[in-house]
Amino acid sequence: AQSVTQPDIHITVSEGASLELRCNYSYGATPYLFWYVQSPGQGLQLLLKYFSGDTLVQGIKGFEAEFKRSQSSFNLRKPSVHWSDAAEYFCAVDAIQGAQKLVFGQGTRLTINP
């Protein structure tokens, strides 16, 4: 069965600094990969997704992620964070076969220092 690991439970960065959130997946083939963001008490919003092709994908709000098959990783990056980026971020994987079921990582809570 596929699984997703987000090694960092909580990350703090200063406003204007660069950001990288880590995501590792376990799956026998190339999965479909997603990053979602959740503001406190709210639902999840899709930031970006990877299915195939170019391994560097661009998303909303200035985020990007790079798929690295050799490392089974799909890390999320942003060159310069804004205070409004403070939220919880979830990496998710969907198996290619069978029903569409997202498997989520534990989430990374991002705090922005002014």
Partner 1 sequence: DGGITQSPKYLFRKEGQNVTLSCEQNLNHDAMYWYRQDPGQGLRLIYYSQIVNDFQKGDIAEGYSVSREKKESFPLTVTSAQKNPTAFYLCASSTGARPPNTEAFFGQGTRLTVV
Positions in the binding site for partner 1 (CB under 8 A): 4, 6, 9, 32, 34, 36, 41-46, 49, 51-52, 90, 94, 96, 99-107
Q: Min. distance of Cβ 3 from partner 1 in angstroms?
A: 11
Task: Specify the residue, 61 or 101, whose C-beta has the smaller distance to partner 1.
Answer: 101
Q: Which is nearer to partner 1, 98 or 114 (CB)?
A: 98
Tokens representing residue 108 in the block:
């990374």
